[in-house]
Amino acid sequence: MVSKKVTCLVVLAVSLALLPPVFSQSKTKIAVLDFEAKNISKETAEAVADILSTELFNSGRFNVIERKAITTLLEEQKLQMTGITDMNEAVEIGKILNVEKIMIGSVSKLGSTIIINTRVVDVKTGAMELAENTKSTRGEDGLPASIAELVKRISQKITIEGSIIKITGNAILIDLGGNAGLKMGQDLQIVRIGDYVTDLGGAIIGNSEDLIGVIRITKTNPDYSEANIIQSKMAPKLGDKVRLVTTRVEVKEPEQESQGQKKKDTKPVSTPPVF
């Protein structure tokens, strides 16, 4: 007869095994579905999706769901991942897979050129985050190099996003670290998320956002980083989002704008406007 202590240890071990690795929490969780095959074999389209998954993983930016695991989960739900092109359907599959992003697309052949079209959909908002394509003029032989370049562009454009988890004066602690690719000296935007934006049919197409400041990384750990505020127009709050800055951002303070506007408004008008 198995003792209660042993039973508890087994349950605990199983529970821990089901938890995702700690390092994966700071990476974007993404799933790549089979691509639609256009004037090309289904096997080639599947191979493209496989290579894409591998390159996304190797970029260090993504926690990529194993494609065999995707197939198993969808079979349990009596769904398939082959040739999905509808974003709403992709979002529903993304929710089943518990991912942040889902990639769909197509592989087509024109003469000797193979063209890969990809779309990355944000599962939470249901909006298309980006669309990228690449082509191989050397047929299947040129696909690995073309896909590697495609993933490089996608990695640069998909936002690295985290949250503020602690504030002490001008010092900020965020839940992104070295495992997410952050380094000392990098700048991140502080963004406050507002209400959802919907289309006329009620589908969520985005969120209202307010850029409230910029922080600079001063120290990184594997899963979190320390930073200082270098620009701000209002005080940051716990839970505000932070995003890696790829271009220089100037945050204008509302007070400066209003004072400048007042000065303009106080200028005397020498002649009335002519219509």
* Mean predicted confidence (pLDDT) in 242-267: 56
* pLDDT the model gives residue 204: 65
Q: What is the mean pLDDT of the chain?
A: 79
* pLDDT the model gives residue 257: 45
* pLDDT the model gives residue 103: 93
Contact between 28 and 101 (Cβ < 8 Å)? yes
**pLDDT for 69 beyond 60:** yes
Per-residue pLDDT band at 132 (split at 50, 70, 90): very high
* CB-facing half-sphere around the CA of 22: CA atoms within 13 A: 7
Per-residue pLDDT band at 83 (split at 50, 70, 90): low
At 137-156, the pLDDT tens digits run: 999 999 999 999 999 889 87
Contact between 185 and 169 (Cβ < 8 Å)? no
**Alpha carbons 19 and 203: distance in angstroms, whole number:** 32
Q: Give the DSSP H/E element, type plus range, for residue 51.
A: helix 42-58
At 153-202, the pLDDT tens digits run: 898 788 778 899 999 988 999 998 887 778 899 899 999 988 777 778 77
Go through the domains of the chain in sequence order and give each one's CATH number.
23-157 (3.40.50.10070), 161-251 (2.40.10.410)
239: Cβ contacts below 8 Å, ≥ 6 apart: 163, 164
Contact between 93 and 33 (Cβ < 8 Å)? yes
Residue length of the chain: 275
Buried/exposed 45-69: b ≥16 CB within 10 Å, e otherwise: bbbbbebbbbbbbebebbbbbebee
**Alpha carbons 81 and 140: distance in angstroms, whole number:** 23
Give the start-end residues of each E strand in 141-246: 161-168, 171-174, 187-198, 204-220, 225-232, 241-244
**Alpha carbons 12 and 7: distance in angstroms, whole number:** 9
Tokens of 205: 């197409």
Say how many Å lie between the first and final Cα of the chain, rounded.
97
At 201-215, the pLDDT tens digits run: 776 666 678 899 999
Q: Which long-range contacts (CB under 8 A, 24 or more apart) does 137-145 make?
A: 137/112, 137/113, 138/112, 139/112, 139/113, 139/114, 140/44, 140/114, 142/114, 143/47, 143/48, 143/51, 143/114, 143/116, 144/51
pTM of the model: 0.60
* pLDDT the model gives residue 9: 38
Q: Which residue has the higher pLDDT, 159 or 104?
A: 104
DSSP character string of 196-217: EEE-TTS-EEEEEEEEEEEEEE
* CB-facing half-sphere around the CA of 105: CA atoms within 13 A: 26
Per-residue pLDDT band at 66 (split at 50, 70, 90): very high
